[in-house]
Structure 1
């Protein structure tokens, strides 16, 4: 697969996966079944996007070998750094922009999981896989040749924040910047995926208890 085909195919497929549940609900009024459809859609989507990634050539900063112990350490460090970045960004939003403290996106996910526990798979596993492949590997990874590392990280992170669309632009941008750094520093998209999954899991499971 060529360097031009991979990002285009990945982005088109991601948009299709992202919009499919809402489109089906609009036409067939799925109701509560929307979240089951979304979970299945995300699982299949994550698998397809990962298959595209596996067929792509490595980017210049990606590493072929990385020990599991080292990877685990970076995963934990990435999740912790993302928590800190989120807290700092959230405080700035509250003090300067007088933003609400809660996240509408997170609250919706928690509400759905309480009645549809299987949605945990979409939130903790499938969504992070897709988001890391799209926002980190494709947008951040491929844009570097045109904008440099910092420019690519900023563009990818702002788009990541905009995709969550709950008013906390700075918070999600800060989280994304951390994952961009983890990915670039380790050269392993699996590490930033792990950090993303760990962060989502902790936030959701703590909130549910």
Structure 2
């Protein structure tokens, strides 16, 4: 069941699973806030596990054009590029934030990040959703599924632009270009190796460092300069 599927069917199943997980917090709203956070965390982890299972069971039958054409597929290169991608992603984020600040005059703060940190402070278990479950699902949805489906008709780069735009919109953070260029960077990592694990490693690592940095600032009672 759900094996030897085409990339279109795997992509559809992945997106539907993502939507189910994305809206799952509403199912827990009648209960206590702690149960909402716990339920959301569990669904994020299960959603990520489900997507990995779909990928592994259909890896050959649902290979994307990007995966078939990739040349730099060495596990060592994938690991090194994924690790370096963590820091490159943070640099890109900082640069785009700085450009936005220079143009708009608004402070480079992320409401999405602040909301996540507030939830983690209330229930530390949620860190698993933000550093593992969420990034894994986003990479399977916005990089592998969307690019894998769209590039059949448009080529990689237009598919990457479309998926990055949707990746930014879904975050609802008001910093469209920050998330857009982050998504585009993760798409490039995926293209370079043809392995979704490369962008997953970079994405999970970046989220982890951001969360750790924010928690350090909070517990040390440090305020960033305005």
Fold agreement, TM-score > 0.5: yes
Name the CA shift for 1:64/1:117 in 2 (closer, same or farther; >3 Å).
Answer: farther
Structure-2 separation of matches of 1:107 and 1:131: 19
1:12 paired residue among 5, 8, 16? 16
Note the C-alpha offset of 1:55.
2.4
Structure-1 separation of matches of 2:155 and 2:104: 30
Any idea what the Cα deviations from partners look like across 1:15-55, whole Å, max 9, x if unmatched? 01110112331xx2432321111100101111111111222
Any idea what the Cα deviations from partners look like across 1:91-141, whole Å, max 9, x if unmatched? 222122334321011111111112211111111111111000000001122
Note the C-alpha offset of 1:171.
0.3
| Aligned counterparts, 1:138-149, within 5 A | 138-149=145-156
| Aligned counterparts, 1:15-26, within 5 A | 15-25=19-29
Map of 2:222 onto structure 1? none
Map of 1:51 onto structure 2? 53
**Deviating runs (4+, > 6 A) in structure 1?**
none
Q: Which has the larger radius of gyration?
A: 2
Note the C-alpha offset of 1:90.
0.9
On the 8 A contact 2:151/2:158 being kept in 1, the answer is yes
| Aligned counterparts, 1:115-134, within 5 A | 115-134=122-141
Map of 1:153 onto structure 2? 160
Taking structure 2 as the reference length, the TM-score comes to 0.86
Map of 1:37 onto structure 2? 39
Whether 1:192 aligns to 2:199 is yes
Gaps (5+ residues) in structure 1? Answer: none
SS state at 1:167 partner: coil
On the 8 A contact 1:82/1:174 being kept in 2, the answer is no
SS state at 1:152 partner: helix
Note the C-alpha offset of 1:178.
0.6
Structure-2 separation of matches of 1:13 and 1:45: 7
Map of 2:66 onto structure 1? 61
